[in-house]
Structure 1
Amino acid sequence: MAFHNSRSTLGVLFTTLVLFGVLVAVCIPSCTAQANFTTTDYENIQVALNLEYLEAVYFLWGAYGYGLDNLTPHLTEGGPKPIGVQKANLDNLTRDIVAQLGLEEIGHLTILQKELGRYYFPRVQLDLSEANWAKIIDNAFGEKLNPPFNPYKNSLNYLISAYTIPYVGLTGYVGTIPLLQGEGAKALVAELLGVEAGQDAVIRTLLYTVKDELVPPYKYTVAEFTEKISSLRNNLSHAFVDEGLEVPKSEGADGLVTGNILSANTYSLSYARTAKQVLETVYGTGNPSIPGGFFPKGGNGTIALGYLKS
């Protein structure tokens, strides 16, 4: 009887080991993938890919007068050419900085293409024409500026226009990170966030040095331009997640200053935007189901397309 029990025990043990081996063989690849990116992770990062395309196109063209189609056409994957984008009339320092920002975006698209795989989509239709920029700035001021605002006219105008872009991506990444599950996804977005925050800080700093100067030929100062743009983005996002270069002292760092070199909350922490708020803002419509702004046909990816179909 004891011998029979021993054989039964060995049989159970053998069967258990076999099953464990099968589970290990099946689970290790899937668990590794789970640790890097989940399907939801890919879908959340896709929202940011729309903005990375926008930044790459605008900065490269602003500095060089050409963009991804000339430098890295494989990254566009055959997507439509942007509308109205052109080389800006920049001084040497600004052109140098903008060129660096554009080349950084090539790096971002390269790693996103590699990491997203089949979730990476072709460049979306972008509208960066003078007329569209004028409309966006007019919306910020609630009036038609005369002459229409032209971002390509000079370095100051271009920096003001650039103020509108990386910050939305920054807040989008801040809002995305808590939703991510895979370690690879968290690491990637944290690394992208670091550079987006740096880009926004550079643009804000350059503008801060001239914040009290008028923007010719208008009656508004640089600080007023940033305040109007930030207010518009707050309205489009339906939340207070955006601040200009000057704020009431009570809203400044530790409640002691009116200067606002970085946009941050009461604790000097970054504001966050949801995917919905990012789309509402860059569409310029306040509605993720209604395309417009920089994205006349809307964004791409599971989340963006889901809103467009709703």
Structure 2
Amino acid sequence: MAPIAFFTALIFMLSLKLSLVTGSAAYCGPIEATDRDRIQFALNLEFLEAEFFLYGALGRGLDSIAPSFAQGGPPPIGGEKANLDPLVGRIIEEFGYQEVGHLRAIITTVGGIRRPQLDISAQTFAEIFDAAVGYKLSPPFDPYLDTVHYLLASYVIPYVGLVGYVGTIPDLYNATSKSLVASLLGVEAGQDAVIRALLYEVANTPVLPYDMTVADFTNHISELRNKLGGCGIKDEGLIVPLFLGAENRTDSNILSANPNSLSYARTPPEILRIVYGTGSEYKPGGIYPRGGGGNIAKRFLAKT
């Protein structure tokens, strides 16, 4: 492991431990909900992924392909076509279509929800990346600028849905519900793995014009998600100290997993704290300026 990468990972872990201490008051236990409500909660992430991938690849979103799925919800704010290389452009386009399929599968199985207001503008992602690194980047981070910037922004999204599905399956009662979520999880995990592998290939490459590498950014983003989630280490960047690598034998971390190489799990409140960017399931913000949709997200909004 290169010395710079080692010290980056070490600093990441030290600052992460501090952030977890300061955020330890968050509730990390289970919540009561029906299968239907738990699966519909996932639509919040599925809508986000569909819009971000479709806009990034095609310059247009869900309303151009399956407008009825939105159930009258407002179109997203600020989506743009990203400046992607041909390979990644094809991958992201496929991901976008996959998300349309996920929406259809959920809607036809348990029913849909109104698409929440999403803000996928460059400004919103700039604020996320500023929060991750701890200061204002200059120029502001632009997810649509090029392939690396877009992949780093994509690193922010599918993993949250993945750990949400892992956390959901044990609490489902119905076999049909479990089968659906397991199938969704398989593809979400694949998307996250592809994004992380593409980023790992350039992990030590500087992200111009910033004085940070791709791996540095992933560590900062993972640290932010752990801090916002408030329930321990459930997220790791692309390069880690050996004691966090698989079997303590590698510093590569292409797949984020626990000491037994099992996926981490998150609850709906944890996910809301992260995607709102506020550290509170009661306080909307960031990509969801008006909060999430469905009964679970609205339950917390009602208490604000």
Give the TM-score band, short-chain normalised. 0.7 to 0.9
- For 2:54, the aligned partner's letter is L
Provide the secondary structure at the position in 2 that maps to 1:132: helix
Give runs of ≥4 in structure 1 deviating > 3 Å. none
Q: 1:170 aligns with which of 150, 162, 166?
A: 162
Which amino acid counterpart does residue 290 of structure 1 have in structure 2? K
The whole-number CA distance in structure 1 between the counterparts of 2:261 and 2:94 is 27
Q: Distance in 1 between matches of 2:287 and 2:39?
A: 19
Say yes or no: does 1:272 pair with 2:275: no
Map 1:148-187; keep pairs closer than 5 Å.
Answer: 148-187=140-179
Q: In structure 2, how many angstroms separate the alpha carbons of the residues matched to 1:264 and 1:279?
A: 21
**Please, which of 256, 259, 271 is the counterpart of residue 263 of structure 1?**
256
* Among candidates 29, 46, 50, match of residue 56 of structure 1: 50
Paired AA for residue 259 in structure 1: S
Match of 2:62 among 65, 68, 75: 68
- Aligned counterpart, 1:88: 82
Gaps spanning 5+ residues in structure 1: where?
1-38
Match of 1:218 among 197, 210, 221: 210
Q: Which amino acid aligns with 1:50?
A: N
Following TM superposition, by how much is the alpha carbon of 1:113 offset from its aligned partner in structure 2, in angstroms? Answer: 1.0
Aligned residue type for 2:145? K
Alignment deviations for residues 150-190 of structure 1 (CA, whole Å, 9 cap, x no partner)? 00000000000000000000000000011000000000000
User: Aligned-pair distance for 1:261?
Assistant: 0.6
Describe how 1:1-310 pairs up with structure 2 within 5 A.
40-117=34-111, 120-238=112-230, 239-310=232-303
Larger Rg: 1
**Structure 1 CA distance for aligned equivalents of residues 255 and 287 of structure 2:** 24
Alpha-carbon distance between aligned partners in 2 of 1:262 and 1:70, rounded to the nearest angstrom: 33
Higher relative contact order (CA 8 A, sep 6+): 2
How many residues get paired?
271
Gaps of 5+ in 2: 1-32
- CA shift digits 1:208-243 (9 cap, x unpaired): 000000001111000000000000000000121100
Give the distance between the partners of 2:250 and 2:260, measured in 1 at CA: 14
- Structure 1 residue 196: Cα displacement: 0.3
For the residues of structure 2 that align with 1:308 and 1:59, how far apart are their CA atoms?
27
Partner amino acid for 1:291?
Answer: P
Provide TM-score, normalisation by structure 1: 0.86
| CA displacement 1:68-116 (0-9 Å, x = unmatched) | 1111111111110101111111111110000000000000001111011
Secondary structure at the counterpart of residue 34 of structure 2: helix
TM-score for both structures, normalised by structure 2: 0.88
CA RMSD of aligned residues (A): 1.0
